[in-house]
Amino acid sequence: MNANLPSDPRLEHLAEAPIPTPYGVFRVVVFRYLDPEAHPGLSDEHLALVMGDVRNAEDVPVRVHSECLTSEVLGSLKCDCKEQLEAAQQAISEQGRGVILYLRQEGRGIGLANKIRAYALQAEGADTVEANERLHLPVDARQYDVAAAMLKYLNVRSIRLMTNNPEKVESLEQLGIPVIGRIPVHIPANVHSASYLSVKRDRMRHTLPDELPPSDA
């Protein structure tokens, strides 16, 4: 356990252990974060996958990744979440150090049931933004206080954020995390995810290529 107390009293260290993966051995650190504003359907347990020595380190590659059960467990092709997670693991393995913060913010923070309700509307023709709006839900309800608290607990001094989402960069900087660079994570579209990625680019400010031709997958 880290001897330093977390700067955010809402963060509690629960457990840690090494886990072998196809990309090498990561240290998994589990936290509880008590956020009264979080959706009641979300877990309050979050985890960090750490490779190498990141204590007091600068320029650490970091991925802030939100849980996506539908792609990561069920194999859904509607999004690129699973591939982004695996790309982050691969990149960190190649560099020998880095952190993946796995946040239990399913469905961009609206919870699993609401995510599936949004999927039903998408099957009727709504895009991802329209579906949430029709359910009277935020387009993106995620918050990154827990990510900042975890990085401070791990004593990471500055990061290069692995993301296409400028809101993540802006949010972490506002929360006191020095973001000294951004690493794009571009996953080729498939016939099911091309529209989803286009909406991210065109309506949610994600830095994605102008052309997103679907692959054969």
Q: pLDDT by residue (tens digit) across 53-80?
A: 999 999 999 999 999 999 999 999 988 8
Per-residue confidence (pLDDT) for residue 135, from 0 to 100: 94
Strand order of the sheet with strand 159-162? Answer: 11-21, 24-33, 45-51, 98-103, 60-66, 159-162, 179-183
Query: How many beta carbons lie within 10 A of that of residue 7, not counting itself?
Result: 11
State what percent of residues in the chain have pLDDT above 90: 61
Q: pLDDT per residue over 30-46, tens digit each?
A: 999 988 877 777 889 99
127 catalytically annotated: no
Q: Cα separation of 192 and 4, whole Å?
A: 45
80 catalytically annotated: no
Give the CATH fold of the 11-203 domain. Rossmann fold (3.40.50)
Residue of 140, 145, 160, 203 marked catalytic: 140
Domain ranges, ordered by start, for the chain: 11-203
Question: pTM for the whole thing?
Answer: 0.88
Residue of 142, 160, 202, 203 marked catalytic: 142
Task: Confirm if 142 and 105 have CB atoms less than 8 A apart.
Answer: yes
